[in-house]
Amino acid sequence: MATFDNNTPTELVTAFTTALAHDYAQGHDTYLYGATSRNRGVQPLVDAGWRTSEGPHLSLSVAPDGLAEMNHVQGALDHQAELSGYQSRWSTSGGRNGYSGRWHATFSTRSPSHLIAATAAALADPTPVPRYGAEIPKRNLTAARVTPVPPPVPTPLDVRRAMAARARSAGHRALVRAPALATASSGPNSARPNQAARCRSR
């Protein structure tokens, strides 16, 4: 079982599900029964220079800036407790402490390590990612290098599409207004202009 909370960066979820879908498309069962090696799961973090320490019950990998980590619990865990979310073999988190500032993801004992490695590789990837300003928790802004992205210059095709959309919108407004005008002209005196028109036609 793998879990990702609501604040988990979408790139991590995408990395995991992409590797999962690739295995499924190949027609084999490695997405269900792959190897569960701890070393393979954390190797992308080691390659990226994360600090890794191993104890008798827990191994911990921490990002160079201290804002993300991945833990692996040693020893036996209760399978049902893992599936219920009370225990987890792997856990990874990031962001500054505080409400909405952190995110959290977990993996159970049977999770194939190559899927965890795919997630770890995305976690350690320094490539900038696009975000709307409102998507970045305020307490994490000081840890991010924010570079505003200018809007793209519209192409001639974009201009034509915009003009066509405005034309359709204007036509729609005209159709909507017509019944309103007819309703406004219907009243006690509305028959008089029609009578005058018939008189002129004679």
pTM score, two decimals? 0.70
Which is more confident, 16 or 186? Answer: 16
CA 66-61-33 angle, to 5 degrees, is 140
Tokens of 119: 């997630």
* Mean predicted confidence (pLDDT) in 153-162: 88
Share of the chain above pLDDT 90, in %: 41
Confidence of residue 106 (pLDDT cuts 50, 70, 90): very high
Angstrom distance (rounded) from CA 68 to CA 61: 9
- The per-residue pLDDT for range 24-72, each reduced to its tens digit, is 888 777 767 666 777 889 999 999 999 999 888 899 999 999 999 999 9
